[in-house]
Amino acid sequence: MMAMEYDQRTVKQPVHFTGIGVHSGATVHLTIKPAPPNHGIFFRRVDLPAQPAIKAHFNRVVDTSLATVIGDQGCIVSTIEHVMACLAGLSIDNAVVEIDSHETPIMDGSAAQFTQLIKTAGIASQNVPRMYFAVKSPIKLEKDGKYVHLLPDDRFKITCTIAFDNPVIGNQTFSLELTENSFETEICRARTFGFLHELETMKFYGLAKGGSLDNAVVIHENTIMNEGGLRYPDEFVRHKILDCIGDFSLLGMPIIGHVILYKSGHHFNHAFLKEFFKQKVSWETMTLREFESSRQKNPGPAAL
């Protein structure tokens, strides 16, 4: 049996988080609440009049320069990618994310705390079939030495390569089949990272007020400044996969296919999502049972 879910899922009970916004430096309270089948993920700004809700969907993305930001009805929620990666990694389709600020809490710079607390609170199956985007033919976007390719496969896989002109990072590639277990053990603890000079520049311009060694891997020249070092030898590329999972979840449904990324980030990921919807002949929506049935009838090779 595939390690994908047949039915939609939500959280069993509300899960509460408190942390600081990495750019605002303000204390933020965030609560993930259960939602009914076919609801999707919505962020609700409980600090604003009328508590407007924003759908976590690629067509609500308003900025990708420093993080993934969604907006609607004159309000925004910034830096949603780690929360979204956690929900996608745990196959949670329906939830309301209540937040009392314009920016999610950065926690430790990864999705580990989100993942741990949601797992502890429990995940509920909703007995309604989960729909997938089943990729039938390749979709590719290439520009300025970067690319994202999406190929047919019989499960959801991600292969990511990064290349930095810095000896601490260098070239790294990581590949995995995304399951709840692989997300929890291989990806969710990978932290965001940056260079000290970038952090200092952002702070000078009033950004990254909450950024510190508590919530990012910081590199200075050839040295990792964090006392504990890295959580994985290739933590950098694993975090890029974490970001990718969060960004691709904004398609609104999970994928059955193989995502291959080279030097991509939030902005390029978002550009690919737009390309994905332009190429509707390359995929179709179906339940997992429908996909398995179609594979049995046409057992041709998956992606090469």
DSSP state of 21: B
30 in Cβ contact with 83 (< 8 Å): yes
Terminal C-alpha separation, the chain: 21
276 in Cβ contact with 150 (< 8 Å): yes
Structure-token pair, residue 111: 């999705």
Task: Report the alpha-carbon distance of residue 219 to residue 191 in Å, rounded.
Answer: 13
Beta bridge pairs of residue 171: 163
Is residue 39 annotated as a catalytic residue, yes or no?
Answer: no
Q: Give the containing element (helix H, strand E) for 220.
A: strand 217-220
DSSP state of 192: P
175 in Cβ contact with 158 (< 8 Å): yes
Single out the catalytic residue among 23, 82, 258, 266. Answer: 266
Q: Which residue is associated with the tokens 């179609």?
A: 294
Catalytic positions, please? 266
